[in-house]
Amino acid sequence: MTQENQRDFVKYSFYKVDPSWRRLSSKEREEHKSEFSSVIAEFNDRMSISSYSLVGTRGDADLLLWKVSQELESVNELCSQLNRTQLGSYLSTPHSYLAMTRRSPYIDNHQHEGQEGTSMRIVGRKYLFIYPFIKTHDWYQLPKSERQALMEEHFVIGHKYPQVKISTSYSFGLDDQEFVLGFETDDPSGFLDLVMDLRESKARPYTLLDTPIFTCLNKPIQACLNDLG
C-alpha cells in the first residue's frame, strides 16, 4: 500500500480509576503513575498518542488515550502492556471506540480540514469533543445526489467555525457505531454553537445516535494521571 493510500487505525480508550487506588500511599501512587507513563513513552515512535483528562467533565471516565496507528497490532500491544501495569489493575474501560480513516465520498470537489485524505493528524488543541455516530437506515437508501446536497449544507455550516477542527473516522464492521467524530478547538463555545447550528440542518432527521459526548482536556500524560489523585 502506498503512503498516499495508507489508512490509519484510530482508537479512543476511556479509563476510569477505582476509588480504592486513591487510598494507596502517595509513594505507591507515584510509582504507579511513573510506570504507566513509561509504557506510553515506549510507543511514541510507533503511533501518535495524545492524552486527555475528563476529571470534572464526566462521571464515568477520568482519562482518554487517543491513538492513531498504521497497525492494529501496535494498539493491541500498548493496551496489553498498560493492563499489566500496577495502575492498570485499578482501571476499567467504560467506553472504547475503534475506527479507521478513509476518504469521505462527499468531498470530491470540496476542501475540508481533517477530511482531505486517509491519514489522521492530531493537532493537540486544548479541548477535544468525541462522540460515536450512527445514521438511520433511510439515509443509505437516499440517492447519492440527495446525500451529497445534504452534506454540502453541513460543510457550509462547518466553515462558519474555522476554529473547530474535525477528525472523522469510520467504524463500519469494526465496532458498534458507524463513525467516531472528534472535534479539536481552543474555544468550547465555538463547538457548542456549531452543534446547535447542525441541529437545524436538513440532514438531522437521519441521525440515529450521537451520544455519549465526551468533553476532554488535552494535557500531558503525567498531568492527566495527577488528576486521578
pLDDT at 4: 52
In a domain, 117, yes or no: no
- Are both 26 and 74 inside the same structural domain? yes
Phi first, then psi: give them for residue 177, nearest 5 degrees. Answer: -85, 175
Measured CA to CA in angstroms, residue 191 lies from 70, 160, 171, 181, 197 at distances of 29, 11, 23, 13, 10
Output the domain CATH number for residue 42: 3.30.70.1030
pLDDT at 109: 55
Whether omega for the bond prior to residue 94 falls within 30 degrees of 0, making it cis, is no
pLDDT at 37: 98
- Are both 30 and 56 inside the same structural domain? yes
- Residue pair 169/101 in contact (Cβ under 8 Å)? The answer is yes
- Are both 95 and 149 inside the same structural domain? no
pLDDT at 46: 94
Q: Which domain holds residue 23?
A: 3-100+216-228
Per-residue model confidence as pLDDT tens digits over 91-137:
999 999 999 999 888 876 545 444 445 678 898 899 999 999 999 99
- Are both 146 and 192 inside the same structural domain? yes
Measured CA to CA in angstroms, residue 96 lies from 13, 15, 32, 125, 130 at distances of 5, 9, 22, 21, 11
In a domain, 107, yes or no: no
In a domain, 13, yes or no: yes
In a domain, 109, yes or no: no
pLDDT at 138: 98
In a domain, 141, yes or no: yes
Work out how many domains the chain is built from and give that number.
2
CA angle (34, 37, 41) in 5-degree steps = 130
- Are both 21 and 35 inside the same structural domain? yes
- Are both 48 and 61 inside the same structural domain? yes
CA angle (63, 16, 215) in 5-degree steps = 45
Residue 2 predicted with pLDDT over 80:
no
Mean pLDDT value across residues 172-179: 98
- Are both 81 and 149 inside the same structural domain? no
In a domain, 106, yes or no: no
Pull the grid cell for residue 153: 449544507
In a domain, 60, yes or no: yes
- Are both 95 and 51 inside the same structural domain? yes
The model carries a pTM of 0.92
pLDDT at 117: 53
Measured CA to CA in angstroms, residue 137 lies from 49, 116, 134 at distances of 34, 26, 9
DSSP symbols for 44-105: TTTSEEEEEE-BTTBSS-SEEEEEEES-HHHHHHHHHHHHTSTGGGGEEEEEEEEEE----T
Residue 223 predicted with pLDDT over 70:
yes
- Are both 192 and 221 inside the same structural domain? no
What's the rounded Cα separation, in Å, for the pair 75 and 9? 8
In a domain, 111, yes or no: no
Work out the mean pLDDT of the chain and round it to a whole number: 93
- Are both 24 and 96 inside the same structural domain? yes
- Are both 142 and 171 inside the same structural domain? yes
- Are both 153 and 198 inside the same structural domain? yes
